Amino acid sequence: MAATLSAAGVKSGKIPKPVEPPKPGWKAEAEAKAERQGQKAARWIERNNARETDAGA
């Protein structure tokens, strides 16, 4: 069975699908996610520093 070639000269299954436009409100979601990640990182740092203090005592 022969592979079907597209106008671009590649196998039709190898052509990437077009990129979808971003969803409405994507920027607010990204900002909220970044804020949550920052809070999580701050908790991790605080917890890590507390362990170091306990281990050094």
pLDDT at 47 over 80: yes
pLDDT at position 36, please?
98
Task: In whole angstroms, give the CA distance from residue 44 to residue 38.
Answer: 10
pLDDT at position 1, please?
47
pLDDT at position 45, please?
94
Q: Tell which wins on pLDDT, 52 or 12.
A: 52
C-beta separation of 11 from 5 below 8 A: yes
pLDDT in tens, 13-45: 777 888 899 999 999 999 999 999 999 999 999
Please list the residues that pair with 11 across neighbouring strands: 5
pLDDT at 48 over 70: yes
